Chain A
Amino acid sequence: MGEEPLYLEPRLEEPLRSLLESPGLLHTLTNALGSPLNVLLPDRIAANVERFRSVYRAHHLSGQVWFAHKASGSRALLRRLAATDAGVDVASLTELQHALGAGFTPDRIVATGPKNPPFLWLAARTSVTVAVDSRAELEHLVSLVRGHALSRARILLRLSGFESTGVRVLSRRSRFGSPVANVGPLLDEVERYGDAVELVGVAYHLDTTGLDEKAVALEGCLRVLEECRGRGLRPAAVDVGGGFGVSYVDEREQWERYTTALTDAVLGTRPPLTWGGHGYGLRNEGGTLRGTLGLYPAHRPVAGAGYLDELLSRPAASFGGRPLAALLLEHLYDLHAEPGRALVDQCGVTVAKVLEVRADDAGAQLLVRLAAKADDVALEDHGVLVDPVVVPRDPAGGRAGDGPVAVHLAGSLCLETDLITRRTVFLPRRPEPGDLLAFANTAGYCMDFRATRAQQQPAARKVAAWQEGGSWQWCLDDEYWPTVPVGGTQ
């Protein structure tokens, strides 16, 4: 290989790191259960909850951490979470049923997103908190409560369209939530429907990595809560939604070197780094770089609980520059957060078997065909670029010509577009048929969110794995309960 390899090595923390250092187990599992295979690490989700909790404690805030269920359909993760003190945010009827069945009591469930009638009915019937998405949904909920003689529903009002003072902080338009500019009439209704609903707080969720936008929204929520109190309502909480992010690539330098090289490749000053010269949103117009890099910032210095901490530490201009956390505390509000991706950080891996390795026509790069479809490993679909880890079939077997290789990773469909990634991936050594490629950190959105059964290929099986007395144990995802591990509460 003529050029310096451009690695994007994954950030691996325990217990994911140990799992990837157990090739015997991973090969046994894929031999038995097929490729691709998703392995979940339920104990890690509990550790992640604790990280969020410690940020709450540092700011003396109370309130709930709700796991945004949509990020992962794993039963093991949800059941393990049920054994902690966290809550769950459900966005569909099935997710609500799953949460109830996993052991979450209604006080630990919040229903978010736009809701269809059965979802809204089951939420009201079981007295879970409902984050009301629109005025129409509020009216619908009220009619369900009155019509079915249900008990008063606890509601959060999801708001959107927050405006800042001074500098205008622009946000992408959201299809969800009620515009904060019209909150007056909405609160009139809440007061009018006092027999059917009880306002417990307000909520937002912004799909952005921008802290400034979220700070503007949180500050806006505080102002709305004051208006509620002024009306004699007794709201107690702000729900700041999700979007805390995950850092996938371990080293900043690798990410920076890679993106610089990608820029150079698009400008033609170095050989292409992608299949067919794809630019991930960048293009070359007469020597000037145009477009925007459509990639998730794969290395993030601040993500997850640390990101929440930064948000809470931001000053609120309309409240005399006090930090947001201090304002929440002083106003006696609870803080709710709905991390999805961030709460399943390091909680899973997708492994796929190498079927074939061959030189491409030019002979410079290798084509590696995997027993998995692109939608089974949806990292690229979410704009996440990160290297797989090679798990050799024969760890002891040294071989000739060891050294870095540049490869393209193809899926198992007979479709030109079925590429696991359009990126040229650099691996520390040539993989061989029978080896596994392990795609780390896929539990959030990249396992089951987009997986299909195209060409009647089966969807990946899921297993849960944990360590007990120094060795790995596993069971099917469906079979996992917090009582299964010997160390668990039996």
Chain B
Amino acid sequence: MAMVSGRRVLADRTRGGNAVRYDSITEAIGNTPLVRIDPAVHGLEHIDLYAKLELFNPFGSVKDRAAWNMARPHLAAAVEHGSTVVELSSGNTAKALAVLAGMHGLRFKSVTNRMRVPEIKDLLLLLGAEIEELPGQSECLDPAATDDPLTLFHRTLSEPGGDYLHTDQYFNPHNVEAHLTGTGPEIVKDLDGRAPDWFVAGVGTAGSSTGIARALRETDPAVRVLGLVAAKSDFIPGIRTIDEVHEVGLFDPGTYDAIEAVSADEAIEGMLTLNRRCGILAGPTGGAAYQGAVRRLGALDAELTERQSAVFVVCDRVESYIGYVRERRPDLFGRPPRRNSPADLSDAEVRAAPAIGVADAQAWIATGRPLVVDLRSTFAYAALHIDGSVNIVDEVFEELLRGGLPFSRSRPVLLACPVGEKSARYAALLTRMGHPEVRSLTGGIVAWRDAGAPLVRD
């Protein structure tokens, strides 16, 4: 919970409790709801399963707490020196730090191995972050080389003249502390002063799971803690794989009664359950935690005679992961078929598309004055094109045709693309749509050039 000028501000939304008016957005960090999952959804008979909804934090994730707790003690000095805030993060920590840095007039730089979720990358740029991607491994490897990207990163931090506030989330005890004094005690309070029998969380920096586990064990040392990581070749944005977790300074195997791997498919399946059946718009790691919890607890449930409770953490929201999910589950995005799409032409139709060779096309342009439509990108068109042609990029053309014929039937049309393949498709489509005189330039602009026909630049 946030401490503001000595006054405790509780945003106890679930119980309709205390103040929800704040002087700064940072006061809204923490005090997130704990929501019971309907047993009809998870099917556990003897276990009450609760979700700790960290997605309620103002910048969107569990990392708001860590970012604020790590940065806060150093912000005043950073403002004085005009330091740049830096962190190794490709996700939520970067998002929170970008906002916090911006609020204090500081620059923020996120350095990452692979910024693999495009929506998050764009959001960070929108928030004013600078992003640096570390180089890939050398192809002609020298095993004795010492210039691995992370070593270089740390070297830059200590270079003279550089003034950095490095929050160092993988090693910084303030990351754990945010949860030891915040998230953990909140759970105990919401469970009427008791710790749950089970606690389940994904492990990224291990900050949240370590801090929460410690707080819960202070109340009841018997709490069992399940840490979840991604299967080795899998990728679940926000948590580490089973090997990578050992590179984390905050990670102590003793914190967890078990570390288990979850696949990306399981994470998405769990996420869908939370999204569709529980009204919880969790992202993939929330789904991983739910799925990992149900998998583990399901095996025990039948043997239980007393009621038990379990809490898992929902770290962030689904919206940033649409691209990630679409790549793995295109079936979820099935769209209705479209009218006038080049995709539903038969091969026979495409083969029968009216076409014209370069020499005849040159003569036709001189006498028949067809509208010459160049389907290539604007950049390629700007560089070199057939004199007098119009540029309608293929993607735009496809959109245009959905609404019907964009040319008068009385106007002949010559379509040109790089090699005559796309133009043949569109010539077939326009023919099917009732255009009487459309032709595809055989061999495309490449053939045109190879024949020595003129190309111009305006």
Interface residues of A (CB under 8 A from B): 60, 166-172, 207-213, 226, 229, 242-243, 245, 252, 256, 259-260, 263, 267, 280-281, 287-292, 294-297, 319-320, 322, 326-327, 329-332, 341, 380-383, 445
Contact = CB atoms under 8 A, between A and B. Distances in A.
A296 B142 CA distance: 9
A295 B139 CA distance: 10
Contacts of A380: 143
Interface string B430-456: 000000000000000110010000000
A208 B383 contact: no
The SS class assigned to the B binding surface is loop
Given A167-B115, A332-B446, A213 B136 contact: yes
A212 B419 contact: no
Nearest to A290: B247
Given A208-B137, A229-B383, A288 B232 contact: no
Given A167-B131, A260-B243, A296 B125 contact: no
Nearest to A382: B141
B251 interface: yes
A383 B148 CA distance: 14
Interface string B344-382: 000000000000000000000000000000001111100
B383 A209 contact: no
Contacts of B125: 166-167
Nearest to B153: A170
Contacts of B251: 288
B45 interface: no
Interface residues of B, number: 50
Contacts of B148: 281, 291-292, 294
B302 interface: no
B377 A171 contact: no
Nearest to A259: B243
B379 A295 contact: no
B134 A330 contact: no
Contacts of A297: 137
A425 to B, nearest CB: 17
A167 B120 CA distance: 12
B446 A280 contact: no
Contact of B246 (A229, A263, A332): A263
Contacts of A291: 148
B173 interface: no
8 contacts: A172-B135, A207-B140, A280-B143, A288-B251, A291-B148, A294-B141, A331-B380, A332-B384
B130 interface: yes
A249 to B, nearest CB: 13
Interface in B114-161: 114-115, 121, 125, 130-145, 147-151
A210 B135 CA distance: 7
A170 B135 contact: yes
Interface of B: 114-115, 121, 125, 130-145, 147-151, 232-233, 242-243, 246-249, 251-252, 376-380, 383-384, 393, 418-419, 421, 445-446, 449, 457
A242 B139 CA distance: 9
Given A60-B421, A168-B130, A209 B143 contact: no
Given A168-B131, A168-B133, A229-B457, A329 B246 contact: no
B378 A320 contact: yes
A273 B266 CA distance: 33
B380 A327 contact: yes
Given A170-B149, A288-B249, 20 more contacts: A60-B446, A166-B121, A166-B131, A168-B132, A168-B133, A208-B136, A212-B114, A256-B233, A263-B243, A281-B148, A292-B148, A294-B141, A294-B143, A294-B144, A295-B141, A320-B377, A320-B378, A327-B380, A330-B380, A341-B139
Nearest to A383: B141
Contacts of A382: 140-141, 143
Contacts of B379: 226, 319-320, 322, 327, 330-331
A260 B231 CA distance: 12
Nearest to B242: A260
B247 A167 contact: no
A107 to B, nearest CB: 17
A329 B133 contact: no
A209 B137 contact: yes
A244 B221 CA distance: 53
Contact of B132 (A170, A211, A289, A329): A170
A169 B148 CA distance: 15
Q: Among A212, A319, A329, A380, find the residue whose CB has the most chain B CB atoms closer than 10 A.
A: A329
Nearest to B115: A167
